[in-house]
Amino acid sequence: MIKAYSTVLFDLDGTLTDSREGVINCLRHASGVMGFDMPDDPDRFLGPPLQWSFRNICGMDEERSAEAVRVFRERYSTIGLFENRVYDGIPEMLGRLREAGVSLHVATCKVDTYAVRIMERFGLMEYFGMIGGAGIDGTRLEKHEVIDWVLSENGITDRSTVLMLGDRLNDIAGAHKAGIDCLGALWGYGSLEELVSGGAEYTAQTPQQAADMIIAGRNDSHVR
């Protein structure tokens, strides 16, 4: 049985929205401008921080990876961020969780200003208290740093009441490093194997199932 959580932090790419088209198109743009080969599996870029991906997937050093991020964002900041769609069932899930009294925030490795623009474009802002992300100045690059920041800004000190909802290994690792549990979103980019082997406390096949689980945990705690 899932525990009772009063706060849920949401990843953005692969959890709230399917951003694959925009990310891959901007990766191709960077590849064309800088002359590096596209990775064999570009979907590995979906989720982790860009700097990490260019270093660890494309084998770039710090200077070249920083330039790749800059070129990627040339296209992403004007076109790529809106080559995107909200997953089916997300607004319904968010509405149910809010009605159940759950506090909702976003914790993404995407630059926070981009995250806000995406949330505004797709009508998701109304459900969330805070849109937390990486700083455009290079701060909060790691998932646990974003989580820590969101919790600090909202005065949340009891981390046993907080759940991260994300779709990739970096969501789980960041959650655990920040001292919170993670629910793996199987409708996103990560496989069941990735999420289970990464140590996710729970997994859900659909947004509806995720909402059912979280609400059931809260109801069960009230009954006891």
Give me the helices (H) in the chain, please: 20-34, 50-56, 62-76, 90-99, 112-121, 143-153, 169-177, 192-197, 207-223
User: pLDDT band at 223, cuts 50/70/90?
Assistant: very low
Question: What tokens were used for 13?
Answer: 């790419």
Q: Give CA–CA dist 32/173, Å, rounded.
A: 32
Phi, psi of 132 (to 5 degrees): -100, 135
91-117 confidence digits (pLDDT tens) = 999 999 999 999 999 999 999 999 999
* Angle, vertex CA 115, rays to CA 109 and CA 116, nearest 5: 145
User: pLDDT band at 8, cuts 50/70/90?
Assistant: very high
Beta 162-166 vs 7-10: how paired, if at all? parallel
23-54 confidence digits (pLDDT tens) = 999 999 999 999 999 999 999 999 888 999 99
- Per-residue pLDDT at 137 exceeds 90: no
- Active site amino acids: 11
Reported as type and span, the H/E element at residue 111 is: strand 103-111
pTM score > 0.85 for this model? yes
Tell me the sheet residues that pair with 77: none
So what's the pLDDT on residue 10? 98
Q: Which domains are delineated in the chain? A: 7-18+86-223 (3.40.50.1000), 20-82 (1.10.150.240)
